Amino acid sequence: MLDKIATFASKVGNPKIIVLAFSLLVIDNGLFAQNNISFHTNGKIYLVIGVLAAIFIGIIGFLVYLERKLNKLEKQINNNE
């Protein structure tokens, strides 16, 4: 697995990519080590789904806010020309 990361990083040429890929590999292995059934039986899966939903709603809200702001700026630029 490390050889795949090294070849990918050599293609990209950015050392930050190496650190990111390695950290994701370590985090990913840690997540699979847990028993997925325990999330469901303890009811924690609903908490995870809720947090993920809140994050996605926040991202979508932020993108809508940026889109409106950009449209407003575009109209101002077009009116000034």
pTM over 0.85: no
Higher pLDDT, 18 or 45: 45
Is the pLDDT at 74 greater than 60? The verdict is yes
pLDDT in tens, 46-68: 888 999 999 999 999 999 999 99
pLDDT at residue 37, rounded to an integer: 65
Confidence of residue 32 (pLDDT cuts 50, 70, 90): low
What is the per-residue DSSP string for 9-78?
A: HHHH--HHHHHHHHHHHHHHHHHHTS-HHHHHHHTHHHHHHHHHHHHHHHHHHHHHHHHHHHHHHHHHHH
What's the N-to-C CA distance of the chain in angstroms? Answer: 56
